A = this chain, B = another copy of it.
């Protein structure tokens, strides 16, 4: 008789649909935390502009979390370019990855409500750390069990790039978070700069070299 564990979790397409769905929703749910200011108190254009300006911590944390999710989505997508098989454990590693992704709208709202509190920053960082750990485990597990489409020196080079990216990113986040003992704003500023530098790799030299797809 087949064990159920041998049957479950081999459908990579489903895993990718589910992941993209969760990312799409997490990214869009974030915006629900930005509430339109109540209209009774607002009488003039300048009053409305002030009310909008008062939303800036929410807009900032929204932007921050969108970039965060974008970075991890790109990372997830990069790994699955080379993962060509899966088993139930790959599914569960990814489900825990998605668990921490779907919690980010909460820790973001928490951070934007308590932006001057160390605890809120640490909680936010912990969330990012857990997402990073699952992403690292995902690659390691797939590598160890022969689920990759690349091999030999190619695999070593790609694996090194993927692992180093996660470790560098997480080190910078950890450093930024530690700064909250000096000042929460400094902490958020550093995390923000780290993320923008990833996203606006956009304007870096274009990586046109062909890679095995």
Number of this chain's copies in the complex: 4
Are A208 and B8 also in contact (CB < 8 A) when A21-B23, A74-B91 are?
no
Q: Which of A1-46 contact B (CB under 8 A)?
A: 1-11, 13-18, 20-32, 34, 36-37, 39, 42, 45
Are A31 and B29 also in contact (CB < 8 A) when A45-B119, A92-B201 are?
yes
Are A201 and B157 also in contact (CB < 8 A) when A16-B17, A36-B110 are?
no
What are 25 pairs between A and B in contact, CB < 8 Å?
A2-B157, A5-B204, A5-B207, A6-B161, A6-B207, A6-B209, A9-B78, A10-B213, A14-B20, A17-B17, A18-B73, A24-B25, A25-B28, A26-B28, A28-B105, A31-B103, A32-B32, A36-B113, A62-B103, A74-B88, A77-B91, A87-B206, A87-B207, A93-B202, A95-B199
**Interface residues, chain A, CB within 8 Å of chain B?**
1-11, 13-18, 20-32, 34, 36-37, 39, 42, 45, 48-49, 52, 62-63, 66, 70, 73-75, 77-78, 80-81, 87-89, 91-93, 95-96, 98-99, 102-103, 105-106, 109-110, 113-114, 117-120, 123, 145, 157-158, 160-162, 164-165, 199-202, 204, 206-209, 211, 213
